[in-house]
Structure 1
Amino acid sequence: MTGRDEYYNRSKQEGYRARSAYKLKQLDEAAGLFAPGDVVVDLGAAPGGWLQVAAEAVGDAGSVVGVDLQRIRSLDHDNVETIRGDMTEDGTADRLRDVVGAAGADAVVSDMAPNMTGEYSVDHARSIHLARQALGVARDLLSPGGDLVVKAFDGPDLADLRADMEESFEYVRSIRPDASRDSSSEVYLVAKGYLTAPVAAGDELTVEVVDQGNEGDGIARVEGFTVFVPGAEVGDRVDVRIDDVKPRFAFAERRD
């Protein structure tokens, strides 16, 4: 039995709308994308296989929002909402923001792919363009520490896309699920830990220590963002260099 037959048959037997559902399952298993109660945005969601997987993973306490130009038939999941529209249009983006809410999304996933022309360079470039659209949505909607998954076709522009994603996340890894067809050049870039900090690694600044951490480090605030400063006490004003940035805090080293 071929891999294609295996996942096609499993999707029919287990009630998923597309064999691609197993790609998302495998991505979740590999990268820990979803947790109960999460808010997930699925771009290019038709026919709904990824919506089904995400809805099961986040449970009744979570919610999943799917967006596609095509109509998505209703799903037997109360925690799924769909929007029919083009994400490049302001109206669709505004509707999505309203549904997601001010707290933002925990994950944005995209299985968007271009209409295939059969010309590899064109299909590759178009897939990168769609992945960049998803990256833009993620930067707009993700809460600190959120995750992004995008599909792209392997090729010369993939490295630049990955580098751009790395600027906004703790790390990015490339995953090719077993459920991908052997003949496909598709690859999924999984970005973990969305960074919304007002500081970046290498920044040099002067901070005032306003609190003390449990491990003895001083705590400074930069636009409300926590920066840990070793060997500093409350009231100290010190020159620091940002050493490492996490979604909700950063570590600094003293320069004095």
Structure 2
Amino acid sequence: MTGRDEYYNRSKQEGYRARSAYKLKQLDAAANLFDAGDSVVDLGAAPGGWLQVAAEAVGESGTVVGVDRQRIRPLEADNVETVRGDMTEEATVDRLHEALGSAGVDVVVSDMAPNMTGEYSVDHARSVHLARQAFDVARDCLAPGGDFVVKVFDGPDLADLRSDIEESFEYVRSIRPDASRDSSSELYLVAKGYLTAPVAAGDELTVEISDEGREGDGIARVDGFTVFVPDAAVGEEVDVRIEDVKPRFAFAERLD
């Protein structure tokens, strides 16, 4: 039995709309994408296999919104909503924000793929273009610390795409699920820990210590963002260099 037959047959037996559902299951197992109660955006969601997996993973307390230019047949899950439209159009973006509300989402996933031409360089370039569109949506929708998953075909433009994504997340890894067909060049970039900090590693600035942390470090606020500074007392004004940035706080070292 081929890998294709295995996952196709399993999807039919287990009630998933597409064999690609197992790709998302494997990505979740590898990268711990979903928790109960999470909110998720699924780009390129038709026919709905990824919606099914995400809805199961986040449970009744979670929310999943799928977007696609194609019609998505309604799912039985009560925690799934769909938006039909093109994410490059402002009207579709507005409808997505209406469905999501004002709070940022926990995970954005994209299984979008271009219409295949059979010409490697063209298909690769188009897949990178779609991945960048999904990245724009992720930056617009994700809450601090959120995760992003996007499909792309391997090729010469992949390194630049990954580098750009790495600037906005704690780390990025490449994963090729077992459920991907052997003949496919597809892989998934999995970005963890969306960064919305007003500072970046290497920044040098002057801060005022306004509080003391549990471990005795000084705490400064930069546009409301927490920066931990060792060996600094409340009331001090110190010059620091940002060493490490997390979704909700950063670590700095004193320069004096």
Q: TM-score by structure 1 length?
A: 1.00
Equivalent position amino acid for 2:173 in 1: R
Residue matched to 2:207: 207
Q: Distance in 1 between matches of 2:97 and 2:185?
A: 32
Residue matched to 1:167: 167
Question: How far does residue 233 in structure 1 lie from its aligned partner after superposition?
Answer: 1.0
Question: How far does residue 138 in structure 1 lie from its aligned partner after superposition?
Answer: 0.3
Residue matched to 1:31: 31
Residue matched to 2:135: 135
Q: Distance in 2 between matches of 1:195 and 1:92?
A: 25
Determine whether 1:54 maps to 2:48. Answer: no
Q: Distance in 2 between matches of 1:20 and 1:83?
A: 20
Question: How far does residue 103 in structure 1 lie from its aligned partner after superposition?
Answer: 1.3
RMSD (Å) for aligned C-alpha atoms: 0.4
SS at match of 1:107: strand
Equivalent position amino acid for 1:44 in 2: G
Question: How far does residue 185 in structure 1 lie from its aligned partner after superposition?
Answer: 0.3
SS at match of 1:9: helix
Q: Distance in 1 between matches of 2:33 and 2:100?
A: 17
Residue matched to 2:11: 11
Question: How far does residue 97 in structure 1 lie from its aligned partner after superposition?
Answer: 1.3
Residue matched to 2:217: 217
Equivalent position amino acid for 1:233 in 2: A
Runs of 5+ in structure 1 lacking a partner?
none
Q: C-alpha deviations, 1:145-173, integer Å up to 9, x for none? A: 00000000000000000000000000000
SS at match of 1:11: helix
Q: Distance in 2 between matches of 1:91 and 1:212?
A: 47
Equivalent position amino acid for 1:137 in 2: V
Structure 1 segments, 4+ long, off by >3 Å, are none
Among all aligned residue pairs of Structure 1 and Structure 2, give the percentage whose two residues are the same amino acid.
83
Residue matched to 2:111: 111
Determine whether 1:70 maps to 2:70. Answer: yes
Q: C-alpha deviations, 1:52-111, integer Å up to 9, x for none? A: 000000000100000000000000100000000000000100111121121111000000
Q: Distance in 2 between matches of 1:225 and 1:46?
A: 39
Equivalent position amino acid for 2:208 in 1: E
Equivalent position amino acid for 1:101 in 2: G
Q: TM-score by structure 2 length?
A: 1.00
Runs of 5+ in structure 2 lacking a partner?
none
Equivalent position amino acid for 2:25 in 1: K
What is the aligned residue count?
A: 256
SS at match of 1:192: strand
Q: Distance in 2 between matches of 1:8 and 1:102?
A: 38
Determine whether 1:178 maps to 2:178. Answer: yes
